[in-house]
Every structure is written in C-alpha cells, then in structure tokens.
C-alpha cells in the first residue's frame, strides 16, 4: 500500500481529485486529497496572512497528524510549489514527488517568477478585498478565489530534492497556445534524475486524462 497526498492547483479544493481518489483507493492505496487554507470549503479562512508558507504547513501538518511516512506527494499546477516546500520541510515523511503540469521551484522562486506574463495578468485580477485572485470563468463552478500572497511569496528550500526515491513530471500537451510549463518539461526531460510523461490532454489532467494519470501513479506506487 502507498499513501498519496494530493494537493490541488489554484482556486481548487480536494474535490478536484475525487475520481482519482476513489480509483486509487479501489487499488488498495491510502489517499488524502487536501484543500488548502483560504480555498474551497476553507475559503472562510482567507485573510491577508494566508501565503505559500501557510499552504506548506497545511501539508506538513496533515502528514504529522495522520502519522504518514513514505508519502507520495502529488501537486497540480500551483500545487508544485506546495509539495516542493513540504518535502523540503519534512523529508523523513516523503518517499516521492509527482508534479502534474506544475511549477517546479528552486530556492528563492515564487510562482509569480515561474509563469509567463499572461498568467501574471490573471493573478492581478483580484477580488474586492485585494487578498485573492479570482477563478477564471471556465473553471469548475466550485472554484473559489485563491490567496494572492501565496503566488508572490518566494519559497525557501534548505535541502536537496534529489534525495527522494522518485520525481515524476506529467506534462499536458493540449494547451491553447504554448504551455507555461513547456520549458520546465524540456529541462526535466533531459535530467536523468526525473521521470517525465507527456499526455495528450488539457491542463486539468485529473479530469481530462484520468486513465493515463492513474496508470502513472500506480507505476510510482508499484516501484516502491
């Protein structure tokens, strides 16, 4: 049995992983789909103080409270920032990392730094409070505003992420125009310490490529 901890992208909650969660559990794995502070059903907690560090603590606190070790951390899109930080903070509780069409930060990077201008324009479409970025119109109706500070705060990393058993990157090829993750995918494809996958799907891989994504995650679990 493998324990998966699933971290959503911007504006989305743990519900975005529901079909994948159910299928992984049917294969006998333990699965924790998380909703980050200030988003989804935790949107009532949104304040100016919710930032990237808050979200990293969401994950490390869950790992500690559930006494999870050897976790496979899975991060979609912005969630790549969060799983990277969590793995750095509590490496003894993490086995592998899986990035789903996600940012892959180095020390000192923010999400703002790692995306193109069109993504930054979206980030600055904030709610009346100024605390959060609005969900895009085509998002799932359950999507909620996302804490702006989490996109601006640089990540601080102290360790070496090559210490983990596996690092997988899953790239979505069906963007309208060039993917903001194209350069990340090209770079990681040339790095032997990474396993990369390209799926003919749009950015929401959990919705658009569930069979292929399940196969990849079962491969990660089976190699444990």
Q: Which residues are catalytic?
A: 77
DSSP 110-127: -TGGGS-HHHHHHHT-B-
Rounded to whole angstroms, how far apart are CA atoms 35 and 15?
Answer: 8
Residues 193, 194, 195, 197, Cα dihedral to 10°: -160
C-alpha distance across the termini of the chain, in Å:
9
205 alpha carbon, distance to own chain's centre: 12
For 74, the 3-state DSSP assignment is strand
- Residue keyed to tokens 């703002």: 112
Rounded to whole angstroms, how far apart are CA atoms 54 and 7?
Answer: 13
């Amino acid at each position: 049995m493998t324990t998966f901890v699933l971290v959503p992208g911007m504006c989305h909650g743990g519900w975005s992983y529901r079909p994948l969660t159910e299928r992984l559990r049917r294969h006998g794995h333990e699965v924790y789909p998380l909703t980050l502070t200030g988003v989804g059903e935790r949107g009532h907690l949104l304040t100016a103080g919710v930032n990237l560090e808050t979200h990293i603590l969401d994950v490390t606190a869950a790992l500690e409270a559930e006494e999870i070790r050897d976790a496979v951390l899975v991060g979609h899109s912005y969630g790549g920032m969060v799983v990277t930080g969590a793995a750095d903070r509590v490496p003894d509780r993490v086995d592998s990392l899986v990035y789903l069409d996600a940012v892959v930060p180095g020390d000192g990077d923010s999400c703002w730094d790692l995306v193109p201008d069109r993504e930054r324009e979206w980030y600055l479409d904030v709610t009346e409070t100024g605390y959060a970025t609005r969900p895009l119109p085509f998002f799932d109706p359950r999507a909620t505003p996302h804490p702006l500070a989490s996109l601006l705060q640089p990540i601080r990393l102290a360790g070496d992420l090559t210490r983990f058993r596996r690092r997988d990157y899953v790239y979505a090829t069906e963007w309208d125009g060039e993917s903001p993750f194209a350069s990340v995918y090209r770079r990681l494809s040339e790095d032997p310490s990474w396993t990369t996958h390209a799926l003919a799907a749009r950015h929401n891989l959990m919705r658009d490529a569930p069979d292929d994504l399940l196969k990849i995650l079962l491969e990660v679990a089976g190699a444990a």
